[in-house]
């Protein structure tokens, strides 16, 4: 895109001209600031799904969807996935800079020593049936944290950020253990963050369990890849709820709800169910490509397409190559991976997908890796929540500290009935 020459946009409406200031981003992205549009012209803009509307200026994550670029605080996702750790990326997203060794050690220590739940919170799990969707349990538990850790001044807010980062993985593991009728496994301070999650998920009191390095490394990388993605549906939800002054826990609880939808984070679960259905039907993916193209058929190729990426999602490429390596190291051969590859090849050669720039997104291959780790399908979106948590926190914190923030309150164009008188029921 050529660099911007002017600093205003001109809107002509009903014969009048309105000069609207421009917001120019680090990478020369252009935002037309319509803050004064309604007060000056009486008109609003209309953009269902906000596909062309910026809600804020943000310094956290940059995406170039046309070129498949993703950076956290300026660092390319590929470098972070290869060289960093999830805990370090949490620090980077929330604080804006990579930590020094002392800062990282202190951050790790805090996350380790705040990973226990208040014992009374275990009672909440007892009320859930084993079939309770883990995302609804997680959302409720995070909201319940407000009861144990009320908000307060900035020092309390910062401590609650640590508490949430430290305890979400424990809540996730406890929800899983409750769902399979196994005893809870408590966090162990000797473990790293990701190692401790896998240990609380898979250890049992009756035998020692050492987390395999290959699983810890693969999961740590997956959590990094999911850590933030600018103003996606769930991050925008966290910002919207937080803009009313609601607590971090209330805001993130709402974000978990948004992420659970099958068009958003719930897609990773739907992808595996789609691949299993294809596998059980004999493995012919071409029929499903045709179904996805049929506008009369509600079926969509789950894990494909993206509002922003009109090129390959860089995260999908990293996950796909990691799936090959991990399955090889574990000596696993997952037929669903072959089906996924054939599906990708078929779709990327098909005009329907090419014309609409539909490529695999972060959810297309992630489920294959989660399966290889032994995670149950219903926990896949919970994994997405664990990865996205530092991003939600960073977005919430940036929103709170931004002087431009006002309570989110979009307008509308009313298309309902014009004014009319009430008619008594006997006259209807």
Residue 40 vs 350, nearer CB to ligand SDX: 350
Q: Is 122 in the site for ligand SDX (CB under 6 A)?
A: no
Q: What tokens were used for 358?
A: 């539909």
CB 251 within 8 A of CB 83: no
CB of 235 to ligand SDX, least distance (A): 7
CB 352 within 8 A of CB 296: no
* 3-state SS assignment for residue 11: strand
Contact residue for ligand SDX among 264, 279, 341, 342 (CB under 6 A): 264
Residue 84 vs 268, nearer CB to ligand SDX: 268
d(CA 59, CA 342): 38
CB of 190 to ligand SDX, least distance (A): 32
Residue 200 vs 232, nearer CB to ligand SDX: 232
- Environment class of 418 (CB within 10 Å of its CB; exposed 0-12, middle 13-18, buried 19+): exposed
Contact residue for ligand SDX among 194, 361, 385, 395 (CB under 6 A): 361
Stretch that binds ligand SDX, among 162-170, 334-342, 360-368, 420-428 (CB under 6 A): 360-368
Q: Which residue is nearest to ligand SDX (CB)?
A: 305
Q: In sequence order, which residues have a C-beta less than 8 Å from that of residue 115 and are 6 or more positions away?
A: 166, 167, 169, 170, 187, 196
CB 194 within 8 A of CB 112: no
CB 274 within 8 A of CB 288: yes
CB of 349 to ligand SDX, least distance (A): 15
CB of 6 to ligand SDX, least distance (A): 29
CB of 186 to ligand SDX, least distance (A): 31
* Subset of 286-305 contacting ligand SDX (CB under 6 A): 292, 295, 300-305
Map 17-72 to HEC letters: EEEEEEEECCCCCEEECCCCHHHHHCCCCCCHHHCCCCCCCCCCEEEECCCCEEEE
- As a 3-state breakdown, the chain gives helix, strand, coil percent values, each rounded to 5, of 55, 5, 40
x/- site string to ligand SDX, residues 200 to 239, per CB under 6 A? -----------------------------x--xx------
CB of 229 to ligand SDX, least distance (A): 3
Residue 264 vs 341, nearer CB to ligand SDX: 264
Angle between helices 193-202 and 213-225 (to 10 degrees): 110
Matching residue, tokens 């290869």? 82
Stretch that binds ligand SDX, among 110-118, 124-132, 263-271, 324-332 (CB under 6 A): 263-271
CB of 291 to ligand SDX, least distance (A): 9
Residue 196 vs 313, nearer CB to ligand SDX: 313
Phi, psi angle pair for 381, to nearest 5°: -75, -25
Contact residue for ligand SDX among 109, 273, 325, 356 (CB under 6 A): 356
* 3-state SS assignment for residue 414: coil
d(CA 90, CA 209): 27
Q: Which residues are catalytic?
A: 306, 363
Residue 71 vs 306, nearer CB to ligand SDX: 306
Contact residue for ligand SDX among 109, 118, 273, 307 (CB under 6 A): 307
CB 393 within 8 A of CB 164: yes
Contact residue for ligand SDX among 272, 316, 362, 375 (CB under 6 A): 362
d(CA 365, CA 275): 11
* 3-state SS assignment for residue 422: coil
CB of 52 to ligand SDX, least distance (A): 11
Closest Cα to residue 165, out of 217, 81, 107?
107
Stretch that binds ligand SDX, among 25-33, 133-141, 192-200, 361-369 (CB under 6 A): 361-369
Residue 118 vs 307, nearer CB to ligand SDX: 307
Q: Is 273 in the site for ligand SDX (CB under 6 A)?
A: no
Q: What is the DSSP letter of 421?
A: -
The footprint of ligand SDX (CB under 6 A) covers: 49, 229, 232-233, 263-265, 267, 292, 295, 300-308, 356, 358, 361-363
């Amino acid at each position: 895109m050529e660099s911007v020459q002017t600093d205003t946009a001109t809107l002509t409406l009903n014969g009048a001209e309105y000069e609207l200031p421009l917001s120019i981003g680090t990478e020369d992205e252009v935002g037309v600031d319509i803050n004064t549009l309604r007060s000056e012209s009486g008109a609003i803009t209309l953009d269902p799904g906000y596909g062309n509307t910026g809600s804020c200026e943000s310094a956290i994550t940059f995406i170039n969807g046309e070129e498949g670029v993703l950076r956290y605080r300026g660092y390319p996702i590929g470098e972070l996935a290869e060289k960093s750790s999830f805990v370090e990326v949490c620090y980077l997203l929330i604080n804006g800079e990579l930590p020094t060794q002392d800062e990282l050690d202190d951050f790790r220590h805090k996350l380790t020593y705040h990973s226990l739940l208040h014992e009374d919170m275990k009672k909440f799990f007892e009320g859930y049936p084993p079939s309770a969707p883990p995302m609804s349990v997680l959302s409720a538990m995070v909201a319940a944290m407000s009861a144990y850790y009320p908000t307060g001044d900035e020092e309390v807010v910062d401590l609650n950020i640590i508490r949430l980062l430290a305890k979400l993985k424990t809540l996730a593991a406890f929800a899983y253990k409750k769902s399979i009728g196994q005893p809870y496994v408590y966090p162990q301070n000797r473990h790293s963050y990701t190692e401790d999650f896998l240990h609380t998920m898979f250890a049992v009191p009756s035998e020692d369990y050492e987390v395999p390095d290959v699983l810890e490394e693969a999961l740590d990388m997956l959590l990094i890849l999911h850590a933030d993605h600018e103003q996606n549906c769930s991050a925008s939800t966290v910002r919207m709820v937080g803009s009313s002054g609601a607590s971090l826990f209330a805001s993130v609880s709402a974000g978990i709800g948004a992420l659970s939808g099958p068009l958003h984070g719930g897609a990773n679960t739907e992808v595996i169910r789609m691949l299993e259905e294809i596998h059980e039907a004999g493995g012919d993916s071409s029929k499903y490509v045709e179904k996805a193209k049929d506008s009369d058929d509600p079926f969509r190729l789950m894990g494909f397409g993206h509002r922003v990426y009109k090129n390959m999602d860089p995260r999908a490429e990293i996950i796909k190559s990691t799936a090959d390596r991990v399955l090889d190291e574990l000596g696993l051969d997952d037929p669903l991976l072959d089906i996924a590859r054939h599906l990708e090849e078929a779709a990327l050669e098909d005009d329907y997908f090419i014309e609409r720039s539909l490529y695999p997104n972060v959810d297309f291959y992630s489920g294959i890796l989660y399966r290889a780790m032994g995670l149950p399908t219903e926990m896949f979106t919970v994994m997405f929540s664990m990865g996205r948590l530092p991003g939600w926190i960073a977005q919430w914190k940036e929103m709170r500290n931004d002087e431009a923030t006002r309570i989110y309150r979009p307008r509308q164009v009313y298309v309902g009935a014009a004014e009319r008188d009430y008619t008594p029921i006997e006259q209807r």
